[in-house]
Amino acid sequence: MIPVILECPCGKLKALNQDGIIFARGVPFAVTERFQPPEKITHWPETLDATQKEIDCFQRSSFEDTSDSFYYKEFRQGQEFQFAESPMTLNIITPSTEGKHPVLLFFHGGAFEAGAVGELPYGSCTEYAKRGIVLVSAGYRLNIFGMYGGCNFLLMDQIAAVDWVMDNIVSFGGDPANITIMGQSAGAMCVMDLLCSGKLKGKITHAIMMSAGGIVPKIASPVTREKSMEYWSQVDAASGGNPKDSGPEVLWRAWKAVQSQYNMIKGYRLSQPCIDGTV
């Protein structure tokens, strides 16, 4: 791979060129504090090294061995990952930095509790670039970090990703007026929620939802924030009553302990984006 320097509205970025396809990894698009909305990044103080591994949100594999799980075998075999509480990074794989190619912005699945920007097949997929499409795979906050208190922080992260792509994708050869969002499984449900929210009106041209789980009413119908508060009160109690100051593993284990008390359908509905009155 050959290093290349790109000029973006945020500043300079170091990427890699392999056989005419450019890879930019671990690009931060927003920052935030715990349980706060994201703030879109508009400037890097120095050249951003986008040749490094992307960072994903804390999840089960951050604290436990998950190599025996279906999800690991299906999407993560042979890969290594880095985790943080509010990572919000994305990967960009583009055929060129010239012209205006259509843009595909992908949100991974993982039941809103797991998933990674770089997981297979999208994290390193070159098939879109070979067909003249800019592929962006964006991360977002998960589990308790993405939905605490019935606040849809993960959807806010995804909206911030769309906004960042609109502002910067021209530097990667993408057309900001031709953005398609696509999600798989929980990512598909996020796409549905974003379409229902109206927050992306005028920002995207198409949307793709992959997997039935994203649109089946029995699973995907959101509850109100008020209805979810009993659930989150249990999480508060399990974490010692001070979730804003607890360590990430303490928080995750408290959330998981409460989640395990519910059957799959009810637990899934309570631990997905809710009708929050904001998004």
Q: Alpha-carbon torsion 81, 171, 18, 109, what sign?
A: positive
Give the pLDDT of residue 266. 78
Give the pLDDT of residue 198. 92
Give the pLDDT of residue 213. 65
Measured in degrees and rounded to the nearest 5, phi and psi for residue 68 equal -95, 0
Give the pLDDT of residue 188. 92
Query: Which segments of the chain are extended strands (E)?
Result: 2-8, 11-18, 21-28, 30-31, 39-40, 48-49, 55-57, 82-84, 89-94, 101-107, 134-138, 174-184, 206-210
Give the pLDDT of residue 171. 95
Give the pLDDT of residue 87. 87
Give the pLDDT of residue 241. 83
Query: Which segments of 154-218 are extended strands (E)?
Result: 174-184, 206-210
Give the pLDDT of residue 14. 96
Q: Could you read off the pLDDT tens digit of each residue along the chain, which spans 279 residues?
A: 899 999 999 999 999 999 999 999 999 999 999 999 999 999 998 999 999 889 999 998 899 888 888 877 888 777 888 899 998 999 999 998 788 999 999 999 988 999 999 988 888 899 999 999 999 999 999 999 999 999 999 999 999 999 999 999 999 999 999 999 999 989 999 999 999 999 999 999 999 999 866 667 777 778 899 998 989 999 999 988 888 889 999 999 999 999 888 877 777 788 889 999 999
Give the pLDDT of residue 214. 62
Give the pLDDT of residue 251. 93
- What letter represents residue 129's amino acid? A
- Rounded Cα gap, residues 185 and 110, in angstroms: 7
For the entire predicted model, the pTM comes to 0.94
Query: First and final CA of the chain: distance in angstroms?
Result: 41
Give the pLDDT of residue 68. 84
- Rounded Cα gap, residues 167 and 161, in angstroms: 10
